[in-house]
Amino acid sequence: MLPHSIISSVVFDSPGTPFPSAYSQLDYYFYDQSCPRLQMIVKYGVWAAISNETRIAASLLRLHFHDCFVNGCDGSILLDDTNDFKGEKNALPNRNSARGFEVIESIKADVERACPSTVSCADILALAAREAVVLSGGPFWSVPLGRRDGLTASQKAANENLPGPFEPLENITAKFISKGLDIKDVVVLSGAHTIGFAQCFTFKNRLFNFKGSGKPDPRLDSSSLTNLQSMCPNKDASNTNLAPLDSPSPYTFDNSYYTSLVSNSGLLESDQALMGDSTAAALVNSYTYMAYLFNSDFAASMVKMGNVGVLTGKNGQIRKKYQQQQPPPMEVTQQAYTAHTGHGSVGPVIAVLAVITILGVIAGMIGRICSGRRIMGHGQYDFEGWVERKCSSCLDGRVDPPLARPADIPVAEPVKEEEPQETKEEEQEQNKHKSHASTSDS
């Protein structure tokens, strides 16, 4: 049958009202400002997945069911096992059965690129389920949003609370009621089996040994029995073979599932059991003749189920990766603050600032050179001339020659340094000696 779950605490607005109180905290326009492209991203991701494999539509719808029926619609089915808990992926109803995780992962990655740390995995699951139904030919419904992701998962809860294909209708109904749902929701949401497939082990007992009788289920239509026995031979090797839940149209979301129940061709024992209850059978018959009523009721029940046990406000978290918890925020204490302060942390900052300053100066100098402006003076400080001579190949073109000084600005002649007085006297004395020597020689 369909998924189920356990809600540790579902609070109702009033006695007899099946909606959880968190229902009023969700909003159809929750991401209109923070992530306006969300629904288009999800729609495209589901469309691409179904284009690649038509069967994945039913798998995405089932993921949402199995998420909401265990700990509420909090994305817990996506979590991997940790040291603190065993997740739901390997629970008996999900092991080698739950599919579509890679589709949700891909959509989540696209959403994170568009709107980082904004949209929960739980909301993506709810939207993906809706798109899977619509793209399979089913009804559209607006999805209230604002769910947050759970911090834990429970394999034990999944094993105990998800309705099984062998359970009597009374047990399944009780599990639905514990979530704020009712018998009508059981019948309507069972209609999700209008698309998808089931493994042979989930119904093989009806084909060969119904309730230990050694014979097939007497309620099963004879032609359906023959076809199913050929798909699922009475041997263990066939346990994982697949059979359509709704053989007339396994890929189309329509009301033929209910037609099959009326003709005793329902695949699962839990599906055919709907015809054994007067209230459920009346609903089945009405959906057989009125497809529009089924579509309308299915949309309403999906909204109702999608609000089971949701986390909102500051509860839960927004995961960045669909299968991993976010680490809790670090609490800043005096000890933690002291450990992260001091010269050890200031030094690298000073070094970085120094490098930035140096690079800025160099960039400014190059900018002035390239624009023809001077940085320093002439003569021994002619920096531009040096660059022109030594580094002109580094620039985009040569540096323009320095602008000529205006004619009306006098240029000071270089001042000649005066020789020391002692040096002049020594020269005069030497000249006297030379003159005297010259006279003697003559």
Structural domain for 146, as ranges? 1-174+302-345
- The token pair that represents 65 in the structure block: 């069911």
Q: Is 137 left (phi over 0), alpha (psi -120 to 50) or beta?
A: left
Task: Quote the DSSP letter at residue 167.
Answer: S
Asked if residue 116 belongs to a domain, the reply is yes
For residues 391 and 338, membership in a common domain is answered with no
User: What's the rounded mean pLDDT across residues 252-272?
Assistant: 97
For residues 11 and 84, membership in a common domain is answered with yes
Asked if residue 336 belongs to a domain, the reply is yes
| pLDDT confidence of residue 269 | 96
Asked if residue 430 belongs to a domain, the reply is no
Asked if residue 296 belongs to a domain, the reply is no
Residue type, 112: E
- The residue from 66, 340, 378, 436 that is catalytic is 66
- Rounded Cα–Cα distance for residues 49 and 427 (Å): 105
- The token pair that represents 274 in the structure block: 């709907």
- Rounded Cα–Cα distance for residues 349 and 38 (Å): 39
Q: Are 130 and 302 in contact (CB under 8 A)?
A: yes
Check whether 327 has a pLDDT greater than 50: no
Name the packing angle between helices 121-135 and 291-305 (round to 10°): 170
For residues 374 and 308, membership in a common domain is answered with no
Check whether 144 has a pLDDT greater than 90: yes
CATH assignment at residue 70 = 1.10.520.10
Higher pLDDT, 86 or 356: 86
- Residue 79, H or E segment: none
- Rounded Cα–Cα distance for residues 150 and 121 (Å): 9
Q: Is 304 left (phi over 0), alpha (psi -120 to 50) or beta?
A: alpha
User: What's the rounded mean pLDDT across residues 30-42?
Assistant: 97
| pLDDT confidence of residue 429 | 59
Which residues define the annotated binding site? 67, 70, 72, 74, 76, 88, 163, 193-194, 246, 254
| pLDDT confidence of residue 349 | 61
For every residue of 235-285, DSSP letters joined together read SGGGTT-EEESSTT-TTS-SSHHHHHHHTT--SSHHHHGGGGSHHHHHHHH
Check whether 119 has a pLDDT greater than 60: yes
Higher pLDDT, 20 or 384: 384
For residues 55 and 19, membership in a common domain is answered with yes
Q: How far apart are the first and last CA of the chain?
A: 142
Least Cα distance to 129 among 201, 86, 68 occurs for 68
Q: Tell me, rounded to whole angstroms, the distance of Cα 376 from its chain centroid.
A: 57
For residues 27 and 60, membership in a common domain is answered with yes
| pLDDT confidence of residue 359 | 78
- Encode burial over 178-203: b for 16+ CB neighbours within 10 A, e otherwise: bbbbbbbbbbbbbbbbbbbbbbbebb
For residues 335 and 377, membership in a common domain is answered with no
| pLDDT confidence of residue 25 | 82
- The token pair that represents 281 in the structure block: 């059978």
Asked if residue 29 belongs to a domain, the reply is yes
For residues 383 and 329, membership in a common domain is answered with no
- Rounded Cα–Cα distance for residues 290 and 285 (Å): 9
Which residues define the annotated binding site for heme b? 193
For residues 142 and 101, membership in a common domain is answered with yes
* Tokens 């940085």 -> residue: 375
| 66 catalytic residue (yes or no) | yes
- Rounded Cα–Cα distance for residues 53 and 135 (Å): 12
Asked if residue 33 belongs to a domain, the reply is yes
- Percent over 70 (pLDDT), the chain: 70
Q: What are phi and psi of 347, to 5 degrees?
A: -55, -55
Q: Are 98 and 158 in contact (CB under 8 A)?
A: no
For residues 69 and 7, membership in a common domain is answered with yes
| pLDDT confidence of residue 403 | 52
| pLDDT confidence of residue 360 | 73
Task: Quote the DSSP letter at residue 89.
Answer: T
| pLDDT confidence of residue 330 | 39
For residues 393 and 306, membership in a common domain is answered with no
Angle subtended at Cα 377 by Cα 374 and Cα 381, rounded to the nearest 5 degrees = 115
Q: What is the mean pLDDT of the chain?
A: 81
For residues 392 and 316, membership in a common domain is answered with no
- The pLDDT confidence band at residue 432, using thresholds 50, 70 and 90, is low
- Encode burial over 300-310: b for 16+ CB neighbours within 10 A, e otherwise: ebbbbbbbbbb
Range of weakest confidence among 88-92, 128-132, 242-246: 88-92
Higher pLDDT, 340 or 8: 340
- Rounded Cα–Cα distance for residues 355 and 255 (Å): 71
Q: Are 272 and 165 in contact (CB under 8 A)?
A: no
| pLDDT confidence of residue 358 | 80
Residues facing residue 12 across a β-bridge: 20
Asked if residue 324 belongs to a domain, the reply is yes
For residues 155 and 71, membership in a common domain is answered with yes
- The pLDDT confidence band at residue 224, using thresholds 50, 70 and 90, is very high
Range of weakest confidence among 26-40, 67-81, 238-252, 355-369: 355-369
Assign 199 to helix, strand or coil: strand
Range of weakest confidence among 194-208, 213-227, 266-280, 421-435: 421-435
- The token pair that represents 20 in the structure block: 């959880």
Domain count across the chain = 2
Q: What are phi and psi of 415, to 5 degrees?
A: -80, 130
Asked if residue 338 belongs to a domain, the reply is yes
Range of weakest confidence among 28-37, 84-93, 136-145: 84-93
| pLDDT confidence of residue 356 | 77
Which residues define the annotated binding site for Ca(2+)? 67, 70, 72, 74, 76, 88, 194, 246, 254
